[in-house]
A and B are shown apart, each in its own frame.
Chain A
Amino acid sequence: MTDTTQNPETDPLPRRRSRFRATLVRDRKAQAGLAVLILFVIGAVFAPLLSPFDPNAMTLDMMSGLSWTHPLGTDDLGRDLLSRILHGTRVSLFIGISTVGIALAIGIALGLVAGYFGGWLDLLIMRYIDLQWAFPNFIIAVYLVAVFGTGLLNVIVALSLAFIDDFARVARSMTLSLREEQYVDAARTLGFSKGRTLFIHILPNAVAPIIVQATVSVSYAILGEASLSFLGLGVDAYTPTWGLILADGRGFITQAWWLGVFPGLAIMLVVLAINFVGDWLRDALDVRQAVGD
């Protein structure tokens, strides 16, 4: 017995699946986006195998242009740009995904609890969300990294804390509307526990707008990491990330254009791809309708 059989308005799973396929066949941008993302994930996973050089190995071959040995040129310290970007893909994608993962888990939990239980809990959580709303996400991240220090873990924690309110808001508004649905009433009447009602009956039906929010947030997290690195508040000076490569190269761009163009291109391709996939997911999951219900 699933909630979908009780509520014919929600998409049954098989129909949803075929809808994914049907919308993807028509959507060229989403196909391109998926292809780019898959390529970058492969690049990230196999970075040590694919990189021609050690990303941190300095050579005397400084700021040399594109060649067979250095397909994307080298930077001011003679490090191979292709190897650095490939290794940077690992870190940047990891930060993007783990940040959103953490923000999603905490944000959804807060939103579900606030929307379902209401009362003083809702008041308390909403007060917190309003509080965070007053701070621009990036300022929260800068503030936290500056206070607690740089490093991979701190960057991820700072960025994910900054995104919590976005997810909590979406989850709360979905829960508020779903709480009144008949099948949720039915679950309550049958005596199911609150946890079961929340996670088995409400959450799966609130998932569509959350997925859309998550895709957009991954791109924001990647851009956020780049900006943090630019300020010197990134992972560290030795771990190449796209933001750090771009920040390191900014003084030399007039002499070596590749130092600005290639890391910029990597960020742009991935963010564009995520946006295209996000648009497709929004259409496939019919989010606007779901939110409007």
Chain B
Amino acid sequence: MSYILNRILSMLLTLFLISAITFAVTNILPGDVAMMIMGTQSNPEALAGLRESLGLNDPLLVQYGRWIGGMLTGDWGTSLVFKEPIAPLLLQKMTASGLIVLFSMSIALICAVPLGVWAAVHPNRWQDTASSSAALLGVSLPDFFWGIMMILLFARGLHWLPSSGFVDPGEDLLLAFRHALLPSLALGLGLMAHLTRMTRATMTGILNQEFIRVARAKGLGERTVVWRYGLANAVGPVMTVAGLQVGYLFGSIIVIESLFNYTGMGWLTYQALLNRDIPLIQASVFVIAAVVMLANLIVDLLYVLVDPRIRLS
């Protein structure tokens, strides 16, 4: 319990530092919120008035205090581009991205674990080469390349799936899934490659261990040895890597969501950066960091559930 508390405290400290850094960096940007609202051609007096009323003339530290206070009380400000309150906007986009992140993670795990095990069971045979080559192919091209190929194949060629757009799962669940599928596949491919390599490496190490030899010597079937004895021990490390990849996925969604015009968190962050929507940039960067850290914490906690030998300290 104290471990979890410690982790949460250290997470909060990191988040606090992140908030300070993003606040400082975004304030280096040329132009300020007042100019973004009124435009560069606006009357200087009106601009000065708006600056005063927005509190932009206060010292940076005071502005930062006001911002952090707002974040803590749920008032995250209003987006300059979307003209909407930021907190509900982020929540909505986060749900959209959460859908494709979960989807791609599932696709990647479902494909990677059997492929990796298959390769590990037949080291240096064609099965190993095939699975390793497929994995390498996945990591050796940028995500957007696979995205373009999928649009060409599944949307333009076969007309199976829509090539762009986002549908709220609350409105039409099936349509939402159809829109989420291609971006998830494009995201999942790179991830799958990583996880296949990781599963293979972990399983190869485990299958060479004494207890596997003992299990075989006892006359247990190969299937039981590999899946019940071998894989059970590989789940922890593979899961850790999968958890660390949540961060990688949040990096990739910027490109993938822009390509598929899927209006999630990545798309929103990119729009915020392009349009210098300062309040939205600050909030979205903060939220992404929080989600990535939370994902890592959850994986560490799950690890204990999967492997009872591990004691958190």
Contact = CB atoms under 8 A, between A and B. Distances in A.
Q: Do A and B come from one complex?
A: yes
A247 B149 CA distance: 13
Contact of B141 (A142, A250, A254, A267): A267
Given A134-B18, A147-B28, A268-B137, A226 B142 contact: yes
A137 B251 contact: yes
Interface in B198-249: 247-249
Given A134-B14, A223-B142, A268-B141, A139 B148 contact: no
Nearest to A246: B145
Q: Which of A127, A134, A264, A268 has the most CB of B within 10 A?
A: A134
B1 interface: no
B252 interface: yes
A223 B145 CA distance: 10
A277 to B, nearest CB: 13
Given A230-B255, A264-B141, A267-B140, A253 B148 contact: yes
Contacts of A134: 14-15, 18, 247, 289, 292-293
Given A139-B251, A142-B273, A147 B14 contact: no
B17 to A, nearest CB: 6
A272 B289 CA distance: 31
A230 B14 CA distance: 31
A136 B251 contact: yes
A231 B255 contact: yes
Contacts, number: 109
B82 to A, nearest CB: 17
Q: Is the interface of A mostly helix, strand, loop or mixed?
A: helix
Contacts of A230: 142, 144, 255, 259
B139 A271 contact: yes
Given A134-B292, A268-B137, A243 B156 contact: no
Nearest to B148: A250
Interface string B68-110: 0000000000000000000000000000000000000000000
B169 to A, nearest CB: 25
A136 B136 contact: no
Main SS at interface, chain B:
helix
Contacts of A137: 248, 251
A219 B292 CA distance: 23
Nearest to A137: B251
Contacts of A247: 144
A139 B140 contact: no
B260 interface: no
Nearest to A275: B136
A268 B148 contact: no
For this complex, into which size category does the number of interface residues on chain A fall? 20 to 34
Nearest to B10: A130
Contact of A135 (B139, B144, B249, B292): B292
A188 to B, nearest CB: 30
Given A135-B289, A231-B258, A275 B139 contact: yes
Contact of B18 (A131, A227, A246, A268): A131
A37 interface: no
B274 interface: yes
B145 A231 contact: no
Contacts of B292: 134-136
Contact of A136 (B28, B250, B258): B250
A227 B144 contact: yes
A138 B252 contact: yes
Nearest to A249: B148
B17 A146 contact: no
A101 to B, nearest CB: 22
Contacts of A199: none
B270 interface: yes
Contact of A127 (B17, B140, B250): B17
A260 interface: yes
A131 B14 contact: yes
A146 B152 CA distance: 29
Contacts of A267: 140-142, 145
Contacts of B254: 138-139, 142, 231
Contacts of A133: 247
Which residue, of B14, B139, B251, B288, has the highest number of chain A Cβ atoms within 10 A?
A: B251
Contact of A227 (B13, B139, B142): B142
Nearest to A250: B148
Interface string A110-151: 000000000000000001001101111111001100110000
Contacts of B164: none
30 contacts: A131-B18, A134-B15, A134-B247, A134-B289, A134-B292, A135-B288, A136-B248, A136-B288, A137-B251, A138-B255, A139-B250, A139-B269, A142-B254, A142-B273, A146-B274, A147-B25, A147-B29, A219-B140, A226-B142, A227-B142, A227-B144, A230-B259, A247-B144, A254-B156, A267-B140, A267-B145, A268-B137, A268-B141, A272-B140, A275-B139
Interface of B: 10, 13-15, 17-18, 21, 25-26, 28-29, 136-137, 139-145, 148-149, 152, 156, 247-252, 254-255, 258-259, 269-270, 273-274, 281, 285, 288-289, 292-293
Given A131-B21, A268-B140, 12 more contacts: A135-B289, A135-B292, A139-B269, A139-B288, A142-B270, A146-B273, A231-B255, A246-B145, A247-B144, A250-B144, A250-B148, A272-B137
